[in-house]
Amino acid sequence: MALFRRKQEDTQENTYDDDLYPDPDEFFENTEEETFVKEPELLEIDHSDRYIGLCMVFEIAFALFVYYRSAAAGRNYLIALAPILILTGIIGNRAYQHSADMKLLTSIIILADIGIGLQLVIDQVYAVSSTFNLLKYIIGLAVAIIFIVFYELFRKILNYRATVYIMMAAAAVIYGVLLCYGYDPNGYGTNAWISVHGFTIELTDFTKVTALLFYAALFSSSYRYDEKKILITATLFFFLNLIGAVLIHELGSFFILFFLHLSILFIYMDHSHQKRVYLLTVFFLCFLAVVLAFGLYKLLLPSYEAGTLNAVTGFIWPFVRKIYERFSLTANINNDPYGAGYQLLQGKKAMWMGGLSGNTVHFNAIPVVESDMAFIALVNEFGWPMGFLAVIELTRIAMHGGRLARKLLKKDRQDSLVAFGAAAMLYLQGMIVILGSCNIIPFTGLPIPFLSRGFTYQTIVLCFCGILIHMSEERKEESDVQEEEHSQRGS
């Protein structure tokens, strides 16, 4: 009986081992089939041409809604509707013919339409220093198209080792020019603009371009830096932007570059203990810097009130005061309702008056409504549903850009980084300014992608969007491979 029981246990153990470790050939065959089926579904992109018609229908319906809100703005939008529809058809057809991501293109077109309509309404309802010019918007679109045409040349330049240092030098030159010739047309003390023959240019927008090109060159596909050199070079560029932002008193753009720096190193560097320690250290030091700014504000406030600040403390004071005001207003907007908090307080009133289809009491006392507070104006004039639509479409751009970056990562790390960086900067700047204008996080006072006025920044936005659409296009060999895979799956 003992011998029989031992043989039975041996048989059960062998049966269990066979179930746990199946035949190797059968195991790898099943794994390949599962991978072959799931991967195309994960990265599948919608190339349907119905989105072109959907965009045109939205443009016509939105024109009627703009006319309902403001007859004068509606007439101007109807005049602009013909070239808008033509451009939508041309760009949409080109994207469709090259198998681009049509959902991504739809989100971009809808946000562009909302921005144009909003700016036309702002000109009629609010007191602004300038008027919206559709011709400048078309010129910006033309610049973006030229940039995309020559993108392959820029892509080759990014593979030179010297490009990393050229981008660092370009960023330093930008901050140097702003330090010497920069000014603030809005009077907030941020030297982020220069004037060239009466034409105002916000140079800090170009620091985002140099940052994207810098990281793309740093993670070039033609060569690989070791981990130590990547961290050292990226840190030098990070502190270059930090010092430049402090000198011109512009922290809004630096916040975008800060999150871009951390996210790119987190995603595109190999996993290691050194990388984790570095990222946590940078984040902790930035948090510590904010705490230090609060302490310095409390320490220097008596000297400021007494007028006894020296050269050093006089240089530090505007910087720490700005940080303290931004964070303290977020905690309590009524701390300075007629000073630093006036803009946010007016924005809060405007949001509550927005309702479902826009305010009906003609409340228009919102400062810098054409730029910093564009989202507030959108809700105030068109209602909360239009505000939610703008946030949803901006999020869709980020999602499609992230999926595109993940797809490109299997082919070219550099292209993947460019796609991720373009989508991340659009989404980060949009959401940071939107949440800041709603007083959820500290207000930064930057333009919002698509919604705000500004030739320089919106041209850069269109260039970033053009890069995403261009990279989402499938090459002929890729289409042939996908057709072959679909036919094999069908059989």
- Average per-residue pLDDT in the chain? 84
Write the DSSP symbol of residue 440: S
pLDDT score, position 61: 95
Query: For residue range 336-392, what is the model confidence (pLDDT) as tens digits?
Result: 777 778 888 888 888 888 888 888 777 888 888 888 899 999 999 999 999 999 999
Q: Is the pLDDT of residue 430 over 50?
A: yes
Q: How far is CA 128 from CA 11, 121, 321, 453, in A?
A: 87, 11, 28, 11
Mapped onto helix, strand or coil, the DSSP state of residue 455 is helix
**pLDDT confidence of residue 307:** 86
The pLDDT tens digits of the residues spanning 390-412 come to 999 999 999 999 999 999 998 88
Residues with Cβ < 8 Å from 322, sequence gap 6 or more? 189, 249, 251
Between 491 and 249, where is the model more confident? Answer: 249
Number of residues assigned to the chain: 491
Full-model pTM:
0.84
Lowest mean pLDDT among 13-17, 377-381, 422-426: 13-17
pLDDT in the model for residue 424: 95
Residue 44 binned pLDDT confidence (cut-offs 50, 70, 90): low
Report, as an integer, the average pLDDT of 133-150: 89
The structural domains of the chain, with segments of one domain joined by +, span 45-270+332-490
Q: Tell me, what DSSP letter sits at residue 160? A: S
Tell me how far apart the alpha carbons of residues 440 and 243 are, in angstroms, rounded to a whole number: 27
